[in-house]
């Protein structure tokens, strides 16, 4: 079946521009996560959505970052006024539930801010 997809796969943008990253989770998965991974590093939690509950935004690094999930499916991560330190791979994952469930990851979006 179809896995988690993300678009675009690569994005180069100029400092100060806004960017939108898209995630299509696996159908039926109620939980959706966004992470950021800097070169060669582990994953930094950004935000998760679970069903109709309010999202946990505690990992968003600044108010320039926001995310939404429409209809319990597709999610977009928006970064406003991008900075060079925002350059990283942004990974999306979905799962059937909480910590005991497998998170299925997309291939990521590589964001480069010049």
Partner 1 sequence: TQLLEQSPQFLSIQEGENLTVYCNSSSVFSSLQWYRQEPGEGPVLLVTVVTGGEVKKLKRLTFQFGDARKDSSLHITAAQPGDTGLYLCAGPRGTGGFKTIFGAGTRLFVKA
Binding site for partner 1 (CB under 8 A): 4, 31, 33, 35, 40-45, 48, 50, 56, 58-59, 91, 93, 98-100, 102-108
Contact 109, 98 (CB under 8 A): no
Of 19 and 32, the one with the shorter C-beta distance to partner 1 is 32
Closest distance of CB 4 from partner 1, Å: 7
Task: Please report, for the chain, how many H helices and E strands are present, in that order.
Answer: 0, 10
Answer whether 93's CB lies under 8 Å from 104's CB: yes
As a whole number of angstroms, the distance between CA 54 and CA 87 comes to: 27
Give whichever of 35 and 65 is closer to partner 1, judged by the CB atom: 35
The least CB distance from residue 53 to partner 1, in Å, is 8
């Amino acid at each position: 079946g179809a896995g988690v997809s993300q678009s675009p796969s690569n994005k180069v943008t100029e400092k100060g521009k806004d960017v939108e990253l898209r995630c299509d989770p696996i159908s039926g998965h109620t939980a959706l996560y966004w992470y950021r991974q800097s070169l060669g590093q582990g994953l930094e939690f950004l935000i998760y959505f679970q069903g109709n509950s309010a999202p946990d935004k505690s990992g968003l690094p600044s108010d320039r970052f926001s995310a939404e999930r429409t209809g319990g499916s597709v999610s977009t991560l928006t970064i406003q006024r991008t900075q060079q330190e925002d350059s990283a791979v942004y990974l999306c994952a979905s799962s059937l539930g909480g910590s005991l469930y497998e998170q299925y990851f997309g291939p990521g979006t590589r964001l480069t801010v010049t």
